[in-house]
Amino acid sequence: ILLKHLVTLVVKVCYDDMFRLLQSAECPENFEDKNYTIITSRCKGPEYPADQCCPAFKEFACPIRDKINDPKTDCAQTMFSYINLYGRFPPGLFAHKCREGKEGLKCDEPTLPPSGSAAAVHSTPLLLTAGFLVLLPLML
């Protein structure tokens, strides 16, 4: 009987720890009040042209890429929920149309130039492709 209780306790502790790991923290970004017209005014169906949709999506998402890419929060899921709510886009639209490489979309970010030189620009990847693919089944 002691072994039975020990096994039950171990299974419960492992399950609780695993469940806690799978839960995401609430996103610190307020997506409810964001301006989605950046995307909805330029990304139009029924064709949803990539040359219109992808730059609009990047313009919206790149400024908040650190929050969207944080796997400890539900920011990506929340963002896509609101984008799909306001834009009524087909599930997985941005995942299928917007690809720039295996690391996802690249966000160009201006940096402060060294004194006396032209402005330098470096690129930071926006790792949303994996998020698209993970969330795609949830949107169907």
- The per-residue pLDDT for range 24-73, each reduced to its tens digit, is 789 999 999 999 999 999 999 999 999 999 999 999 999 999 999 999 99
Q: Cis peptide leading into 46, omega within 30 of 0?
A: yes
Please state the pTM of the whole predicted model: 0.63
- Whether the CB-CB separation of 119 and 110 falls below 8 Å is answered with yes
Q: Which residue has the higher pLDDT, 50 or 22?
A: 50
User: d(Cα 68, Cα 75) in Å, to the nearest integer?
Assistant: 5
Q: What is the mean pLDDT of the chain?
A: 74
Contacts of 44 (CB under 8 A, 6+ apart): 52
